[in-house]
């Protein structure tokens, strides 16, 4: 038997004890350390933070008003080209050049970041909430509810999702709902409608394996209510997969918005300077595509930005997966 510490420890004994005990680290802190050791994930985080910053302060950062047209200054080449294919010299005031109406490409690209960031984050937050709750209920209660969810999932998976977005955007654009937020609201709804299923399935699977574990048994034994078991025990233990999935869903949302914008079905570019969302990267690429041969500077900034953001989120998501679930490291 070990010796008991004396009833009244001297201050030096107390100091020894505190010296010896290591401060316990929670799983989350461990995961955080694993994440910040991953260089690619940190780079991804920095890029995401940068674009978030650009999106929030777009009106301060943009050198010009994105809607301001400059007569006689259309199709100016970017600052590093001395003379454009149409013979116009570049103007240092327009760093990435100007489009067909003489609008500043850099400012428009900066404003485009807003749409991508909002499309990435807002619907994701909504579907995390909806998907997790439904997944929890389906996994925990099982039975008929679970059955309906799984059949619904089958249908959603069979429906080609991009085609669904195209049909929804084409059909409902002209209606009242389709005009809210320049069409972004409808896009959010469509994205959320398709994507919550993935979350529900992941949470359901997690709950199915967790609910047989001893700690749930224990919680039930001491008389915890169903709601308490679900939200205090099952949900926190499924957070890892939820976080990983959200980091991988966000780039999917951004890509979808860009594709729809590129097809002319995303955000309706606005001409009202008071609007928050003026143009999107997809719409900019659509504008730039007509001049892809002669004026590639119109299409390159938004295309590079989309690629950068999506890559950053993917690296961040991969890093989160490795950090939160070390067993999976490098296998996928």
Partner 1 sequence: MGKYLIRRLFWLIPVIIVVSGITFILMHSAPGGPWDRDTTARQVDQNTQRLLNEYYGLDKPLWRQYVAYVIGDFNKKGEFVCGLVCGNLGPSYRMRGMTIQQILFAPPEGKNFLYSRFGYSMRLGVLALLFAVIIGIPAGVIAALKQNTIIDYVSLFIVTIGISVPNFVMALFLIILFASTLKWVNVVPRSWDEVSVWILPTVILGFGTMARTARLMRGSMLEVMRMDYIRTARSKGLAERVVVLRHMIKNSLIPVVTILGPALAALVTGSFIIETMFGFPGMGRAYVTAIGQRDYSMIMGTTLIYAVLIALANLSVDIVYSFLDPRIRLE
Among 13, 209, 225, 307, binds partner 1 (CB under 8 A): 307
Q: Indicate whether 196 belongs to the interface with partner 1 (CB under 8 A).
A: no
Taking the CA atoms of 264, 267, 272 and 276 in sequence, report the sign of the dihedral they define.
negative
Q: Indicate whether 214 belongs to the interface with partner 1 (CB under 8 A).
A: no
Angle between helical axes of 184-210 and 161-172 (0-180°, round to 10): 150
Closer by beta carbon to partner 1, 192 or else 234: 192
Closest to 316 (Cα-Cα) out of 36, 14, 29:
36
Contact 129, 194 (CB under 8 A): no
* 202 contact partners, CB below 8 Å, separation of at least 6: 131, 135, 238, 241, 242, 245
Looking at the chain, the number of H-run helices and the number of E-run strands are: 15, 0
Q: Minimum distance between the CB of residue 184 and partner 1, rounded to whole angstroms? A: 19
Residue 29 CA from chain centroid, whole number? 22
Stretch that binds partner 1, among 73-81, 93-101, 159-167, 224-232 (CB under 8 A): 159-167
Among 42, 172, 189, 219, binds partner 1 (CB under 8 A): 172
Closest to 256 (Cα-Cα) out of 323, 324, 198, 169:
169
Among 42, 47, 122, 166, binds partner 1 (CB under 8 A): 166
Closer by beta carbon to partner 1, 136 or else 254: 254
Stretch that binds partner 1, among 100-108, 227-235, 272-280, 309-317 (CB under 8 A): 309-317
Burial of 101 (0-12, 13-18, 19+ CB in 10 A): middle
Closest to 117 (Cα-Cα) out of 284, 290, 277:
277
Closer by beta carbon to partner 1, 64 or else 287: 287
Q: Indicate whether 42 belongs to the interface with partner 1 (CB under 8 A).
A: no
Closer by beta carbon to partner 1, 236 or else 330: 330
Residue 75 CA from chain centroid, whole number? 33
Count of positions on this chain that bind partner 1 (CB under 8 A): 42
Q: Minimum distance between the CB of residue 43 and partner 1, rounded to whole angstroms? A: 12
Burial of 29 (0-12, 13-18, 19+ CB in 10 A): exposed
Residue that has been written with the tokens 């802190």 in this structure: 29
Contact 247, 317 (CB under 8 A): yes
Stretch that binds partner 1, among 59-67, 141-149, 168-176, 237-245 (CB under 8 A): 168-176
Q: Indicate whether 176 belongs to the interface with partner 1 (CB under 8 A).
A: no
Looking only at residues 243 through 302 of this chain, which bind partner 1 when binding is defined by CB under 8 A? 251, 255, 258-259, 262-263, 285, 289, 292-293, 296, 299-300
Stretch that binds partner 1, among 11-19, 65-73, 234-242, 307-315 (CB under 8 A): 307-315
Q: Indicate whether 171 belongs to the interface with partner 1 (CB under 8 A).
A: yes
Q: Indicate whether 151 belongs to the interface with partner 1 (CB under 8 A).
A: yes
Burial of 172 (0-12, 13-18, 19+ CB in 10 A): middle
**What's the start-to-end Cα distance of the chain, in Å?**
49
The residue ranges that bind partner 1 (CB under 8 A) are 151, 154-155, 157-160, 162-164, 166-168, 170-172, 174, 251, 255, 258-259, 262-263, 285, 289, 292-293, 296, 299-300, 303, 306-307, 310-311, 313-315, 318, 330-332
């Amino acid at each position: 038997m070990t010796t008991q510490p004396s009833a009244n420890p001297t201050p030096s004994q107390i100091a020894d004890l505190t010296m010896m005990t290591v401060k316990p680290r929670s799983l989350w802190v461990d995961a955080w350390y694993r994440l910040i050791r991953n260089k690619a994930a940190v780079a991804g985080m920095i890029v995401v933070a940068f674009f978030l910053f650009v999106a929030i302060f777009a009106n301060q950062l943009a050198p010009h008003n994105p809607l301001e047209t400059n007569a006689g200054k259309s199709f100016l080449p970017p600052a590093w080209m001395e003379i454009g294919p149409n013979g116009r010299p570049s103007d240092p005031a327009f760093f990435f050049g100007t489009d067909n109406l003489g609008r500043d490409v850099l400012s428009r690209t900066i404003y485009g970041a807003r749409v991508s960031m909002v499309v990435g984050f807002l619907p994701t937050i909504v579907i995390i909430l909806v998907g997790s709750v439904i997944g929890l209920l389906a996994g925990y209660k099982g039975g008929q509810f679970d059955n309906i969810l799984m059949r619904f999932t089958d249908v959603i998976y069979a429906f080609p999702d991009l085609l669904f977005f195209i049909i929804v955007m084409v059909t409902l654009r002209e209606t009242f709902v389709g005009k809210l937020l320049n069409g972004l609201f409808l896009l959010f709804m469509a994205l959320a409608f398709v994507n919550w299923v993935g979350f529900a399935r992941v949470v359901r699977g997690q709950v199915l394996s967790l609910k047989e574990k001893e700690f749930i048994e224990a919680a039930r034994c001491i008389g915890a209510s169903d709601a308490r078991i679900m939200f205090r025990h099952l949900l926190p233990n499924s957070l890892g997969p939820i976080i990983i999935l959200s980091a991988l869903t966000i780039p999917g949302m951004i890509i979808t918005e860009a594709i729809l914008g590129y097809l002319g079905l995303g955000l309706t570019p606005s001409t009202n300077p008071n609007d928050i969302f003026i143009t999107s990267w997809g719409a900019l690429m659509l504008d730039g595509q007509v001049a892809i041969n002669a004026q590639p500077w119109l299409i390159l900034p938004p295309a590079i930005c989309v690629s950068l953001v999506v890559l950053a989120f993917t690296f961040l998501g991969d890093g989160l997966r490795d950090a939160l679930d070390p067993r999976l490291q490098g296998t996928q």
